[in-house]
Amino acid sequence: MNPSHDFGVWVAALLTLFVFSFLYKDNPLYKFAEHLFVGVSAGYYIVLNYWTVIDSNLIGPLRVAFGGAAGGPLHVQQGDYRALLLIPGLLGLLLFTRLFPRIDWISRWPLAVIIGVYAGLKTTGFAQGDLVAQVQASLQSFGLVELAHAFKASELAHTSSATWQAIGHSCDVVLFTAGLLTSLLYFYYSREHKGALGVSSRLGIWFLMVSFGAAYGYTVMSRISLLIGRFQFLIEDWLRIR
Amino acid sequence: MKREIPLFLTAVIGLFMIVSFFVPHQWVSVPADFLQQCAVIVVAFGYVLGGANVLRVSLEGISRRERDWPYKLVLVLSLLFTVIVGLFVDKQRWQDPGTISLWLYDNVYSSMQATMFALLAFYIASAAFRAFRVRSTEAALLAIAALIVMLGRVPIGDAAMTAIFHHAWIPHALRELKMSPIEEWIMNVPQSAAKRAVLIGAAMGVMATGLRVILGIERSYLGGGD
């Protein structure tokens, strides 16, 4: 064993152990790591947004618009609308009125701009990107023509692997379509789930359960992968046990 | 007045953004792009406001010597240190190799974030013991799908199938059966079908909520008060 001499690796390793100590019970070391994490991540996102948005999209263009680059202070050339960025700058500052209870209602104005823009964008964006795209992608061919060709090419007594593949594909598409329709019917609440609708929605629940189970298994494996990564870091990078 | 102006702004801007989707003329698209840029900038200010709020709440706790106040001090100091280093020490070189910001990101933020998520593996596993009690068909389907997906993603799944089915008395087709193709089939057919249904439903939900917000029916974002 030849532990790392890198101070950063030691800090990362100790913080990793502090977080893992929660598996025993809530303790001061975990609380320290937890609060440190909240502080550093909040600071990180503030700095990230400052340099990537506020500095590059607001302060930089405003400096060009008012700093003399366009021919002198306050001399804005035709077609240069950068000075209008004063509006989002002002709205951004108004957001801070939320910290003062007497005038916190002013912060609703910038909030209204955010909500209005994103409500409009998402309404059309989801319609185009999710609803239409998902429906379009779900309209799959049952492959009946390919199946007929495959049957014609092979004798019934000696069914080729291509035929089996065509049969398998058709079955998958039928199952997929049935799963999609019955799952959608489960979310149809305007009528009581009785009779044919009841049977369909019950089948839909089965498909949904398989989907949730698969999603659960997928999540577990990604978390396990992260866990292995942390142990690899501790053993290989920190303790350097090979 | 305190509620009407924001509602009016939301309705006008929201409708304008919807119109901009259907009218690609520059008289519409240029103001729409500007509005979108405005929203991005204001959201960035929102992150700063969030940080300021965390600071305010923590500082109040420290001044009142609330329970666990020393940890709040750790939070405040780490937040201020990260911000000061990022804004005034590293400046535009922020996140460049050799900067304190990158060191903080690699050794503190990134390592703790990965460990926090890794920690969830234990809690998900313990939750599974409670959730996977096979009492009904639905619970059985959930458990079997989860088990196949978990085993299908690691070599032990295929090895287990070989150990179980690789016997002379078992039909040849079954002997070749592996876990990974079954897992792949589950992900591509039943999982994908139900997931699509959920996504289609969610898309309709987002559209409905968006319209409710624009039309002023949904007003919870304004908060309480007059």
What is the DSSP annotation of B107-154? IIIIHHHHHHHHHHHHHHHHHHHHHT---SHHHHHHHHHHHHHHHHTS
Residue of A nearest to B91 (CA): A51
Work out the number of other CB atoms within 10 angstroms of the CB of residue B56.
11
pLDDT greater than 90 at residue B41: yes
Question: Which range marks the domain in which residue A182 is found?
Answer: 141-242
Q: How far apart are CA A155 and CA A147, in angstroms?
A: 13
Residue A131 placed within a domain:
no
Cα B7 to its chain centre, rounded Å, is: 28
Asked whether residue A134 is domain-assigned, the answer is: no
| A21 falls within a domain | no
Phi, psi of B97 (to 5 degrees): -55, 135
**Distance between CA atoms of residues A98 and A43, nearest Å:** 20
Across the interface, whether the CB atoms of B206 and A226 are under 8 A apart is answered no
Instruction: Kindly state the greatest CA–CA separation across chain A.
Output: 89
**CB-based contacts of A135: which residues, under 8 Å, 6+ apart?**
B200
Task: Please check whether residue A14 touches B, CB under 8 A.
Answer: no
Cite the DSSP H helix spans in chain B: 4-22, 26-63, 69-84, 100-104, 111-131, 137-152, 155-165, 172-175, 179-188, 190-214
Considering the domain boundaries, does residue A193 fall inside one?
yes
Between CA A126 and CA A144 the distance in angstroms is 33
pLDDT band at B93 (very low <50, low <70, confident <90, very high): confident
What is the spatial distance between Cα A183 and Cα B189, in angstroms, rounded to a whole number? 13
Kindly determine whether residue A108 and residue B188, on different chains, have CB atoms separated by under 8 Å.
no
- Of A4-18, A189-203, A204-218, B125-139, where does mean pLDDT reach its minimum? B125-139
Yes or no: say if B7 and A6 are a contact pair by the CB < 8 Å rule.
no
**Closest C-alpha among A14, A124, A209, A129 to residue B195:** A209
Cα radius of gyration (chain A): 30
Q: How far apart are the first and last CA of chain A?
A: 8
Token pair in block for residue A218: 């997928």
Rounded to two decimals, the ipTM of the complex is: 0.88
How does pLDDT run across B111-156, given as a tens digit for each residue? Answer: 999 999 999 888 888 887 777 777 889 989 999 999 999 999 999 9
Closest chain A C-alpha to B100 CA, distance in angstroms:
11
Query: Please, what is the average pLDDT of chain A?
Result: 89
Give tens-digit pLDDT for A6-42. Answer: 999 999 999 999 999 999 999 999 999 999 999 999 9
Token duo for residue A105: 């209602």
- 3 state SS of A204: helix
A103 lies in a domain? no
- Rounded Cα distance, A53 and B44, in Å: 6
A126 in Cβ contact with B207 (< 8 Å): yes
- Number of inter-chain CB pairs under 8 A, A vs B: 400
Say which DSSP state B170 is in.
Answer: S
Q: Other CB atoms closer than 10 Å to residue A24's CB: what's the count?
A: 9
Q: What is the pLDDT of residue A174?
A: 94
CA B113/CA A161 separation, integer angstroms: 48
Contact in structure between B9 and B213 (CB atoms under 8 Å) = no
List chain A residues with CB under 8 Å of B48.
Answer: 46, 49-50, 54
Residue A197 domain-assigned (yes or no) = yes
Instruction: Read off the amino acid at residue B150.
Output: M
The count of structural domains within chain A is 1
d(CA B40, CA B96): 24
- Give the pLDDT confidence score for residue B8 in this predicted structure: 96
For residue A132, is pLDDT > 70? yes
User: Quick check: is A161 in a domain?
Assistant: yes
Contacts of A226 in chain B (CB under 8 A): 114, 117-118, 121
Confidence label for A166 from pLDDT (cuts 50, 70 and 90): confident
Domain-embedded: residue A207: yes
The Cα–Cα gap between A93 and B167 comes to: 73
